[in-house]
Structure formats: structure tokens, C-alpha cells
Amino acid sequence: MTDEPLLSVRDLSIAFRQGGRETLAVDRISFDIAKGETLALVGESGSGKSVTALSILKLLPYPAAHHPTGAIVFKGQDFVPLSEREMRRVRGDDITIVFQEPMTSLNPLHTIEKQIGEILLLHRGLSGAAARARTIEVLTQVGIPDPQSRLKAYPHQLSGGQRQRVMIAMALANEPDLLIADEPTTALDVTVQAQIIALLKDIKKRLGMSLLFITHDLGVVRKIADRVCVMKDGKIVEHGTVERIFAAPEHPYTRALMAAEPRPDPAAPHPDAPVVLEVDDLKIWFPIQRGLMRKVVGHIKACDGVSVSLRQGETLGVVGESGSGKTTMGRAILRLISSEGPIVFMGKNIDGLSFKEMRPFRRDMQIVFQDPYGSLSPRLSVADIIKEGLKVHHPDLSNSERDQRVVQALTDVGLDPATRFRFPHEFSGGQRQRIAIARAVVLEPTFIVLDEPTSALDMVIQAQMVDLLRDLQKRHNLTYLFISHDLRVVAAMASWLLVMRHGKVEEAGEAAELFRNPKSDYTRALFAAAFNLDTAPEGVVGQ
């Protein structure tokens, strides 16, 4: 490492102006990145880490965003006073960036070759055969199999992991000095996440570039970073080497972050409790229709022959990668989408009932969704949101009785009942998820489908949410179907485990036993990736 750091951010503040008011998003932060070094910026959502990353390339919505103080010095040049035109020479050449969402960062209308070729043409003037050769070279570098044949592929023809690889290839095309990776693995499955992290590590070492890695996941940080900056509320509260931070965190927030692992205390199986849910050979096939007469030529088997049996007070954890059919299964059990095969709920077969006939059952079966931002109607107050189910199922209740139930439910989930007249956007993600849970429990259901209820939340909040759910389960003797791709959370909750892959059950059994002793290769690879971020040998998992 040389004395002069490659990038030096000094006293940088970022403020946003809106409607005549100023908000400070980032408050006088400083950090350096040396050549060949990986710096991780860690923090919860809203801590200002992504804004910091974008500000380095000046990608913020200027002039609404501006920098009251500070300098961004890259190779001796300050970016803050540079014009948009001068910045454009830096972007994509000296410094490149990989975003979180591979689904939306590629233009769906252009082929891979064209998108990578565009950067080569802009900064290096390469075109034709030369550009093509370079494109194949970088695609090989990021581990896309058979890159020649992939050149003409469109983004939708690639999997999420491959798209992220293409994004990285685009970022590498001009051999940048600094690669900014803004949560590059958050949207990916655990097995793919492990692959991408291994890839980034490998490429960084081979090309000798520096890496600024933004994440909220400490496990990832430990795996990839040399040094860490912990951000909270727009400030860097602690920084140091990975070894030091993980061995002896100083700041209370860092310590809270480290301790944010959900405490494992799964509900034990209740072999003599009444059976709440019995699903036998559940099939959800979406027909593929072709031609003028809409002839059915095949089926997409979202869920193929899944059997579930669940007793009161138990939790069934359903894990699997995205696209494995776990969410579809949860919704089919609640009869929100149609399926084949008997679904016996509390002794009654609810399969084939109409929407109207289902209504009396809905009081006992509820669902909590993944996205606390999307699952609450933005135009209703919290009280109205929670009341909605009561109006359907207890139309005889008076207004004050209803209000009482709402207050009770909010107290149950640990929210101040006085806030019930506010609107969802005034709450944080964790609070919103509590509201969503309150909406489910206000009806006093027996069975709740939890569809990734913790995935959109920060680590610290996740642990609180797991505690809350377990507490509610014990108090009300609830039965959960817990769908998640986050194995750590599932391990903390589930009495039974169901591993799904491509719509089929890969492995099922008692959770404690299965975690200790996975039988299939796929389950083993999944666990390794989730708990240790280890990549699996080729062929076991997809790219």
C-alpha cells in the first residue's frame, strides 16, 4: 500500500433541500480507501450509507442534494466542485458501481453485448471485434459459462445471479481503480450470494483494485472486508480493521449490531395438540398456453406434491431459494390462489370453497407479508387498517368495542395505542411490520402464515420481530407457517422444517434434527451458504 490513499473522503456532508427545508443525510464523515483495499460501510437502512456511495460518483439528484462541507479526493483530485461533464469521464472508467437490484439495473431491451460494449465505446473508443473480444474476456472473468453464446442474450434470459455477474462485468470492463458495490448481494439467494462474494474477492485480488462494499449484513463484511466503517444516522460511529471490530467492538451501536442475531428458541413440536392444518399432495400448476386456440402445452409447476401436517402451537419453517414455490404454497393454503389437492383446516376441507364460503374461515387464518411498506394501505389510518377485518368478521361490534380490540392488538405487538390515528408512512419498517401483525392477531386467529416477515427489516429489528412472534405464539397458542429464505431466523423459530426446491419438497423433518443432520446435498449447500457464506461445489446449486 502506498502512503497516498486512492480515495479520501474528508468531512463530507450531504444535505437535501426540499420544499424550502434542509435535511442532513450524512454528517461530516471521513474515510480513506487505499489501493487494493476493501472497505465496508455497514449500517441499517436510513443510516446514509447508500447516499454516501452515490455521492462519490456524484449520482445524487443535484442541486436538490448538495454538500455543505467536505471533499471527495480521488487520486489527488477533488470531485465536489467538478461539473457533470467532468464527472462523466470518471464514471464507468476510474470508478464503477454495482447496484443492489440486478433485475432493474440492466436495460431489458438491450443484449448483454450491447450493454457492455457501450461502456467500452464511451471510455476507450473500442468497437467491433475489439470490443467483442474484451466483452468475452470480462464475462469469462466473472464466471459466466460459455460467454460467446451469452453475448446475444437479453437480461430476462439470465438468472438473478448471472445478471449480477453481468453487472460486475460491466463494472470491470474498463479496469477501474475503485469498484463501489452497493448491497450487491442483498437481492440474491444465499447460495448465489456466497458465489458473488467469492467472485468479488477473487477479482479484486487478481486485478488489484479497491473495493467499497456497502452492506447491512455483518456476515458478509467479515467474509470480504479489510476495514469497516459503521454508520448510524449519517455519522460514522466506529471504524477499524475487521479483526478489531469483530473482536472488540467499542461503540454501543456496533455491539448491538453484533448481538442482533435472533435468539434461537423454537416452539417444540406438540405431538398431542389438535391438527390445525393438513395438506396432502398440494399441486399448483400454472398452464402454459400457446397458439390461437390457447392450447395447454405444458405447466409451470410452482408447487408439486407438497404435503404438510401441522398441530396447534407449532411452527413450520419453509425455506428455499426464490422461485422454489414457498410463497405460492403459503398463499394457496390460505386459498388466495387456486390449487389442487385437499387442504384440511381445523378438520374441514376448505379446498374448492368459493370466496364467499371461505369468509368464515378467514377469521382463523391470517397472513403477514414480507414488505411492511407495501402491505399497509397508505391511505388508511392504522386504526382503520386494523379494524378492517373486525368489520368483516364481527359486524355486530359497536365502534367503541372495535376500538378497544384495536388498542388491545396494538398493545399486544408492542406499539403505543395512541398512535393508531396516524398513517403508515409515519412509522418505521419495524413498526409497520408490527402493525401488519396487529392486523392479523386482532381477529384472534389460530393459524398465521408468515411470508418472510423479517426479510425487509434491519438486523436489530429482525431479532426483535422474532421475539415478538414467539411471544405472541406462546400467549395465544398460535400456529405458524413461517416462510423465509433466511435460515438463521427460521432456525430461531421453527419446530418443523420443509426445504423446498423447484416446487418440490427437497427434505422435511423436525427442525433441530434437520439443521444438525441435513441429508441431501442441496440442503447441505444451502446451510453452508447461509451460515458460513461458503460456496457449494459445482452442480449442486444453480448460478
Nearer to another protein, 175 or 403 (CB): 403
In angstroms, what is the minimal distance from the CB of 136 to another protein?
Answer: 29
The CB-of-1 to another protein minimum distance in angstroms stands at 30
What is the rounded CA–CA span in Å between residue 435 and residue 369?
A: 11
Q: Which is nearer to another protein, 94 or 182 (CB)?
A: 182
Of 51 and 275, nearer to another protein (C-beta) is 51
Between 348 and 519, name the residue whose CB sits nearer to another protein: 348
Question: Do 216 and 185 form a contact (C-beta atoms < 8 A)?
Answer: no
Smallest gap from Cβ 42 to another protein, in A, equals: 12
Least separation in angstroms between residue 149's CB and another protein is 31
Least distance CB 339 / another protein (angstroms): 15
Alpha-carbon gap, residue 230 to 216, rounded angstroms: 10
CA–CA gap between residue 121 and residue 522 (Å, rounded): 42
- Shortest reach from residue 374's CB to another protein, in Å: 4
What is the DSSP annotation of 154-172?
A: -GGGS-HHHHHHHHHHHHH
> If you ran DSSP here, which 8-state letter would residue 91 be given?
B
- DSSP structure class, residue 418: G
Least CB distance to another protein at residue 387 (A): 10
**Structure-block grid coordinates of residue 245:** 471490530
Nearer to another protein, 64 or 297 (CB): 64
The minimum distance between CB 290 and another protein, in angstroms, equals 17
Which whole-number Å values give the CA distances from 436 to 337, 429, 440, 451, 454, in the listed order?
A: 21, 11, 7, 12, 12
Q: Which of 326/501 has CB closer to another protein?
A: 326
Please choose, from the candidates 442, 454, 445, the residue with its C-alpha nearest in 3D space to the C-alpha of residue 477: 445
Instruction: Transcribe 119-132 into DSSP letters.
Output: HHHHHH---HHHHH
Applying CB under 8 A, which residues contact another protein?
14, 16-19, 21, 23-26, 45-51, 54, 60-61, 63-65, 99-101, 104, 182-183, 216, 234, 331, 334, 336, 355, 358-359, 362-363, 365-367, 369-371, 373-380, 388-389, 392-393, 423, 425-426, 428, 436, 439, 443
**Please, are residues 161 and 195 in contact by the beta-carbon 8 Å criterion?**
yes
Exposed, middle or buried: residue 164 (CB in 10 Å: 0-12, 13-18, 19+)?
buried
Smallest separation, CB 508 to another protein (Å): 25
Q: Are 93 and 174 in contact (CB under 8 A)?
A: yes
Residues belonging to the chain: 543
Minimum distance, C-beta of residue 373 to another protein, in the bound complex (Å)? 5
Q: Which of 446, 20, 123 is nearest to 273 (CA)?
A: 446
CA distance readout (Å), 58 to 62, 65, 96, 106, 241: 8, 10, 12, 20, 27
Q: Tell me the C-alpha distance between 370 and 258, whole Å.
A: 24
Minimum distance between the CB of residue 13 and another protein, rounded to whole angstroms?
12
| Distance (Å, whole) CA 173 – CA 131 | 10
Beta pairing class for 295-311 and 275-290: antiparallel
Nearer to another protein, 352 or 374 (CB): 374
CB closer to another protein, 45 vs 159 = 45
Residue ranges with strand state E in 362-411:
365-368
Q: For another protein, give the closer residue by CB, 370 or 535.
A: 370
**Cis bond before residue 63 (omega within 30° of 0):** yes
Which of 61, 81 has the CB closer to another protein?
Answer: 61
Which is closer to another protein, CB of 43 or CB of 266? 43
The single-letter code of the amino acid at 187 is: A
Collect all residues with Cβ–Cβ distance below 8 Å to 350 and sequence separation of at least 6: 335, 343, 344, 358, 361
Least separation in angstroms between CB 246 and another protein: 23
Which C-beta is closer to another protein: that of 365 or that of 500? 365
Compare residues 29 and 120 and give the one whose CB is closer to another protein: 29
What separation in angstroms does the CA of 137 have from each of 140, 147, 317, 529?
A: 5, 8, 43, 28
β strands within 205-292, DSSP E: 210-215, 227-232, 235-241, 275-290
Least distance to another protein, CB of residue 265, Å: 28
